[in-house]
Amino acid sequence: MTIKRLKFCINNEWTESATSKYMPVMNPSLGVQIAEAPCCTQREVDAAVAAAAAAFPGWSNTPIPQRIQLMFRFKALLDQHLDELATLLATEMGKVLAEAKGDVLKAIEVVECACASHYLMQGDTCMNVAAGYDTVSYREPLGVFVGIAPYNFPAMIPMGWMLPFAITTGNTFVLKAASMVPQTSMRMLELLIEAGLPKGVVNLVTCSRVEADSLLTNPLVRGVTFVGSTAVGLHIYSTAAGAGKRVQALCEAKNHALVMEDCVLERTVAGIINSTYGCAGQRCMALPVVCVQESIADEFVALLKQKAQELKLGPAYLADSQLGPLVSAAQKQSVENWIARGVEEGAQLVLDGRGVKVPGGENGYFVGPTIFDHVKPGHAIGDEEIFGPVTSVKRVKDFEEGLAIMNGNRFANGSCIYTSSGYHAREFAKRTHGGMVGINVGIPVPFSIFPFTGHKDSFFGDLHAMGKDGVAFFTETKAVTSVWFTEEDAKKKVSTWDGTLTRN
C-alpha cells in the first residue's frame, strides 16, 4: 500500500515540509498505515502565524457581507462533497459512516450559523448619554487565532466550532490539525480555498507539542481555542492566558444519566445505547455512567446488555457497521487497561468487550460494548474519562442520591435525566452541575446558535464555543462617544468631555 505523504498549507499553498520527522496516519479499521503527516519545523509553524498576521489587515477590512458570502460558497461545496468527506473521515478516524456523515453535517451546521454572524456582531447605541453626547459600540476582530484540534471530531471541531466564527468575524487563523486524523481538515481547507479564501486567512500545520507550545506565547497570536484532555487544556489555558491571550479550552468529561423508575424503559435504553457507544465512546458528550434507581436496576441492566450485544461491529467504511474501532492501537490498549482496572476495583463486569473478533477487521483497533454494574463511589472507572465504549452503572435509591453522585464528579460537560415526572425534570435542570442538560435526551449538544457550555474541569475560560459566546470570543468591544455641535456651540468653542456627563 502506498503511504501518502501529506503537506502543510500557508498562503493557500500546500508545501512539503523540510522536516525529517513524520507521524503515521492509520486506518484503524484495518490497523494499517495510509498516510504520514509532517512534524512541521519551528520555522514553518512561525511562518504560518506570520502569514496570518500579514493577512489580517486586509481581511478585517473586508466588508462583512463579503466574508459571509465566502461561508455560503464553502457551505455549498461541503454539501456537494459530503459523502466524500464522510468516507475520508471514517477511514482515518474509525467512526462508522453514519457517524462520520453526522460529524461533517455538524460542521456544516456551524458554517450556516456563521453566515448570520453579522447579526451577532452588531453593537449598541445610546443617544444623549449626556447633553449632546451619543455613544455607540462596535465588535471588532482581534487578529490571529490558533485552533488546536483533537482527533475525535476531525470535521465538526476544527472546521465547525473553531474556524467559521473566527474568520467571518474578521480574524485570521492557524489550525494545528490532529496529526492522527489530518486529512479531513486538509480536504475541507482545500474546499474553502476553492470557495475563494484569500491567501493567509487560514493556514494549517501538523506538528509536535513542542512547536504547538510556541503558538501559546507567540506575540502575533491573540487567542487560542482548544479541545482535548483536561491536563493539556489546563496547561494551554494557564500558559496562553499568562501570555495575555484569550483562551477557551474544552476538556474532558464523565457525563452521567439519572434513570428514574418512571422512565419509558425501552426508549431510555435505546437512547443510552446510542449515547454511550456512538463514535465508540470517543466523544466528550458520550454517556458512560448511568445512575439507575434500584427498583428497576436489574431490568435495566439486562435490557442494556441485550441491546449492546445486538450492535454490529465492523469496519467504519461499511454501511451496515454500527460500532467502529478506536482511533489507534494505543487507545485500544488504554481502554482495555481501564476494563482490567474496573475488574480489579471490584465492579461487576456484565459484558466484556475485550478480544472481539471482527470479520474484515481482524487487525483493527476494536473493543466491543462493555458494561460494569455495581460501580461504587471511588471506583476510577466511574469517575474518570475512559474515552471508549464502556458503561458504568451506579445503583441509587432515589433522585436525591443520584443527583448528589452526579454533582460530586469533577467534570460537568453534560448530564441528563430519563423520567416521566415534570417535577423531577425541572428540579434536575435547575440543580445539575452539567453545562448541557438533557431531559430524556442522552446527548444534549445544543444547536450551534447556542454555546457549547461545559462546566467545572470540563472547561477553562470565560467564553464558550459557538453561539453568542463564540462571536464574543473572537471579537472585542469598542465604545465611541461623540459630541454633536450646533453652530452656536462651534462659535463658543465647546470643550470635550469633562468626565462628569456635562459640558463645560
Which residues are annotated as catalytic?
284
Between the two ends of the chain, the Cα-to-Cα distance in Å is: 81
H or E stretch at 411? strand 411-412
Bridge partners, residue 203, by sequence: 174
Upper half-sphere CA count for residue 401 (Cβ side, 13 Å)? 14
H or E stretch at 482? strand 475-483
Q: CB neighbours (10 Å) of residue 215?
A: 26
Upper half-sphere CA count for residue 394 (Cβ side, 13 Å)? 27
Cell numbers 487578529 label which residue? 143
Strand blocks (E) in 169-279: 172-176, 202-205, 221-227, 246-250, 256-259
Q: Which residues of 137-174 are buried (b: 16+ CB within 10 A; e: fewer)?
A: eebebbbbbbbbbbbbbbbbbbbbbbbbbbbbbbbbbb
**Helix, strand, coil distribution of the chain in percent, nearest 5:** 40, 25, 35
Walk across the sheet containing 475-483 and list its strands: 125-130, 133-141, 475-483
Burial class (CB in 10 A: 0-12, 13-18, 19+), 122: exposed
Cell reading at 52: 496570518
323 near 97, Cβ under 8 Å?
no
DSSP state of 453: -
